[in-house]
Each structure stands twice: as structure tokens, then as C-alpha cells.
Structure 1
Amino acid sequence: MSIIIKFFAAPDDEAAAAVVERGPDGVFESLVFGNFDIEEAMIEWESPFTGRRFEDLVAADEPRVVADPRDGEGPLVLVASAPLQDALATADQPRLAEVSELWVRERAVEGETFDPELATELLDELANLARTAGGRDARLYCWTA
């Protein structure tokens, strides 16, 4: 379970990895969320957006780790897959709400409760960041601690 989650856009893996110890604040504009398993969430978002099965995404090591200096015991940086970033960037409001509802239901099955309105807002903000990243020829990253 991630305590702090910050999504940001960076030009490449090297620039994103450079902020692993302190986070993207002051270097990249970021969206701050918290208190959920971000790796699982990114897979749970990508699956309905792209049609790829959860198991296939796990087997493909999605989301890819860009920097993990303490081998899972500290902050790390992940990169959203290109298909997830593209899906977020092109999704309209009804599609974002649909994926959000699926995610909230999936988490409920696992015993976690998320406010559906907040979950939709999260994906909406993330979609806006994905659009910004694509417009700058950048990638969508996530820093977590």
C-alpha cells in the first residue's frame, strides 16, 4: 500500500529516476494522491482501457519500475505504459467514469472502499496530465513512498 502517490510528466526515464529520493516536487508539476496500491491500480485501470487481461499485464511487468534504489523498501518511480497513457489521454468523461466505477467495484471485492466521485476525479485529473504529457512528448510517471 502506497502512502503518498505523485503522478508527474517527465521527458524520459532518466529525468524521472533523478527524483526518486525526494519526489517530483519543485522539478515537475505533479498530482498528489494517497493510500492505495498504485501498481495494482495502474493495472486495474489499464485492463479495461486496453482490453489486456490483468494477468497478462502482471506477466509483462506493468507498470515498469524506473527507479527503486531500496529494492521495495523506500520510494520508487514507475512509468505508465504507453497504451495506458494513450488511453487516458484520449478518454472522454463517460469512459473515465466507466473505468472508475469498475476500479471502485474491483477494490470493493478486495475489501477496500473508495468514494466513486473521488475515484472519477482522480482518473479525470490523471487523464488531463496524460494529455499534457503527450503534448510535450513526455511520459506519465508515478513516484510513491
Structure 2
Amino acid sequence: RTCPADHGCRQSGHDARVSIIVKFFVAPDDTSASLALQSGPEPAFESLSFGNFDPEEAVLEWECLLAGGSFEDLAEAGEPRIVAGQDNDGCVVFALSPRLSTALADAEHARLRDVAASWTRLRAEDGEVIGTEIADAIVGDLAAFVSSARRQNQSVYCWVA
């Protein structure tokens, strides 16, 4: 079955939508993570929910801000790596790169706050308003989530609807 239309699913790619559902979740591997495609990660996987930002674009920006490199180079290298998804108006599951996971897990709180502030400015340049407190919460909560997943020897994925 396809993702329900009322979820506001979007085409995979880097097109921002006004109202999307973003759920980062922990899974042992790509095969397990792909099972979340149709109905989302709950209740099978521990998850962290957000909304109203383009997570595919965000993870590339966060990786650039935390670990260096260019957005274009990451995108050309196939990041974020799609684990499961549909081409037309479907939900998508992608993996956080090992490099981003390490950078998030290893970053001090002050560094995460700086990244959140920089991300807020980047989004504002594209006309997207993300409040500083919300950006802090997203980046900080995700860093803690990734750290917990790494302690469990698991990976973090993202389900977007």
C-alpha cells in the first residue's frame, strides 16, 4: 500500500514542504529500517518526531556544519542514502551517514548550539523560518538520540512522510 495521502508525503529529493512528518528512529540495519516505510517506525522502533523542515537537506547541512565539506559534494556522493522509498509522492526512509552520526555523538553541547544557530541562518537565507530554540532542540535531541543508538550498536534512520 502507499503512504496515506493525508500524511502529506512528498517526492524523495530535496524539495521542502510546508507540512511534513519527520521521525528519526533507531534500527539494527537497513533491512529492518526499510520495514518502517509504509506506516512509520512506531511501535517497532524507538523514535524521535519533528515536523515542518526538510530532513534530507538538514542532515546534509548539519554534516557540513559539524564535519566540514560541501553540501554539493555530499549530495553528489548520494547522501543521504535512501534505504527505502517511492518515486512518486511516497514516504522515504534514509540513513544518517556514519560521519554525521559520529559528529553528532561527539559534539559538545556548545558546539551543537552553534550548529543549530548556523542552521537557522542557512534556512532563513532560503526563506524558511526555524526558531533558534526549535533548532537547538532538534539538533540537541538528535545528538543525544544518536549517542544512545551508538551505545546500543544501532544506526539512526529517518522516516519522512
1:143 maps to what in 2? 159
Letter in 2 for 1:127: A
1:67-97 Cα shifts (integer Å, max 9, x gaps)? 01x2142111010000000111111110100
TM-score after normalising by structure 1: 0.96
2:79 maps to what in 1? 62
Report how many residues are paired: 144
2:87 maps to what in 1? 71
Residue identity over aligned pairs, in percent, reads: 45
CA distance in 2, matches of 1:72, 1:87: 32
Match of 1:125 among 141, 147, 154: 141
- After TM superposition, what 4+ stretches of structure 1 lie above 2 angstroms from structure 2? none
Letter in 2 for 1:50: A
CA distance in 2, matches of 1:28, 1:60: 28
Match of 2:100 among 78, 84, 99: 84
Letter in 2 for 1:143: W
Task: Note the C-alpha offset of 1:5.
Answer: 0.2
Q: Unmatched 5+ residue regions in structure 1? A: none
CA distance in 2, matches of 1:144, 1:72: 14
Letter in 2 for 1:113: V
TM-score after normalising by structure 2: 0.87
Q: Secondary structure at the match of 1:112?
A: coil
Pairwise mapping of residues 45-56 of structure 1 onto structure 2 (< 5 A)? 45-56=62-73
Give the CA RMSD over aligned residues: 0.9
1:11 aligns with 2:28: yes
Match of 2:131 among 94, 115, 137: 115
| Shift in alpha-carbon separation, 1:72–1:44, aligned structure 2, 3 A | farther
Q: Secondary structure at the match of 1:57?
A: helix
CA distance in 1, matches of 2:157, 2:82: 10
Q: Secondary structure at the match of 1:32?
A: strand
